[in-house]
Amino acid sequence: MIKSSPKTLAAHAYELAGMGTGPYSFCGIVEMPNLSENSATSFGSANPYAEVQALKLKAGAGTCACCGMAITVICVVRDGAGDRWGVGSDCIEKIGDAALCSTAKVAVAKRRAKMVRSRNAVKREAQRQTWLDQPSTHTRAQAGETNRQFNARRDEEMQEAIMMRTTAAQARELMLADVLSVLDGGTEFFRSLAAQLRHGSLSERQARCAIKCFPIASRDMIFTRLLEGAK
């Protein structure tokens, strides 16, 4: 039986794998690009490998520097000389180095949770797209209208309604400009009446309070306008 030398027993697993010398520290996570999923991003002059290349890894860009297995998730480890190496998430979690494992486990767990959220979001969006193309069962849907078509028509109707309200409010502001300017110049109470008048007529009691801001000679006419909300 070949006995291991004390030096071999004391060596770090990464040192035995040729990854420089310790101490080692965890520097974060980067992923190899998935060209099939990110074809639009990688099209043209964009370099999909730019993030990985910027790390200037001594080894581990796609293949674990420790075990040699292909990896897509690269856990970046820095050795004692400052060189960076890429290892797989399994290797860094099982390496037996507490300083690396604890930090890496948290980062890997966060990444995996993010991936689950991302996959769930993609799944939900696929389900939503399927639903949008199905016939609408809404009571206001037209015959043969899909959910997508119904939603588009409803959104258009809502935008038209908003534009109509905006136009009406602008016309009302111009029509009652003289009355509103007087009320706006009064106390907080009269300003609140002006704010209400911008959206509709006042009650009789409110109108009787509001005309106190105007000369006696014009109060009857103003009173009528306040009740009608117009000239």
| Distances from the Cα of 33 to the Cα of 30, 39, 40, 214, angstroms | 9, 10, 12, 73
Residues 96 and 193 in one domain: no
Q: Which of 101, 116, 131 is the last residue of a domain?
A: 116
Q: Which of 65, 92, 116 is the last residue of a domain?
A: 116
- pLDDT confidence tier of residue 229, bands split at 50, 70 and 90: low
Q: What does pLDDT average to over the chain?
A: 85
Could you tell me if residue 44 is inside a domain? yes
Residues 112 and 20 in one domain: yes
pLDDT of residue 184: 94
Could you tell me if residue 193 is inside a domain? yes
The pLDDT tens digits of the residues spanning 10-26 come to: 678 888 888 888 888 88
> For the chain, first and last CA: distance in Å?
109
Could you tell me if residue 78 is inside a domain? yes
Residues 6+ apart with CB under 8 A from 97: 12, 13, 24
pTM of the model: 0.53
Which has the higher per-residue pLDDT, 83 or 43?
A: 83
Residue whose tokens read 């930090």: 103
pLDDT of residue 41: 46
Could you tell me if residue 163 is inside a domain? no
Measured distance CA(39)–CA(10) in Å, rounded: 46
- Judged against a pLDDT cut of 60, whether residue 37 lies above it is answered with no
Could you give the angle at which helices 147-175 and 177-184 cross, rounded to 10 degrees?
80
Residues 6+ apart with CB under 8 A from 30: 51, 52, 55, 74, 76, 86
Could you tell me if residue 135 is inside a domain? no
Measured distance CA(213)–CA(133) in Å, rounded: 59
Query: Domain range for residue 197?
Result: 176-228
**Whether 202 contacts 194, CB under 8 Å:** no
The pLDDT tens digits of the residues spanning 148-194 come to: 999 999 999 999 999 998 998 898 899 899 999 999 999 999 999 99
Residues 107 and 194 in one domain: no
Measured distance CA(174)–CA(183) in Å, rounded: 15
Could you tell me if residue 200 is inside a domain? yes
The pLDDT tens digits of the residues spanning 111-131 come to: 888 888 988 999 999 999 999
Residues 109 and 188 in one domain: no
Number of separate domains in the chain? 2
Residues 180 and 112 in one domain: no
Residue whose tokens read 């004391």: 10
Residues 6+ apart with CB under 8 A from 183: 190, 191, 193, 194, 197, 210, 213
